[in-house]
Amino acid sequence: MNNKFEYQFWFWSNKLDAILIMLAALIKYELLDVERQIIKSELEITNDENNKWYNYPLAGKEIKLDLKFAYDNEEGKDVIHLIITSSTNLTQQLETLDLFQSLFKKIK
């Protein structure tokens, strides 16, 4: 059986680099600076309410994440909506990441 687990949350755009780094660490993936720049660039044409998403896969040593990014329709470029899909149930880890990131105004 091929179960898919999905988790989604919103975060302030200034936390994008930190979120990506933490997701990469979670799945043991070496995220390159150029990948972060590509994601930032592709975000420019996204909008969650208009169903304009940017998809980016991260394939770690044992776990693969399918990431969908879009700017929030109401908040514009200040807030990013992220949907994470995986065949591995990472709900607890992702809830912890979401809680952690929400505690800080800015993460570097």
Over residues 40-82, the pLDDT tens digits come to 999 999 999 999 999 999 999 889 999 999 999 888 899 999 9
pLDDT of residue 31: 96
Q: Look at residues 66, 100, 102, 98 and name the one whose alpha carbon lies nearest to residue 84.
A: 66
Average pLDDT over residues 72-97: 90
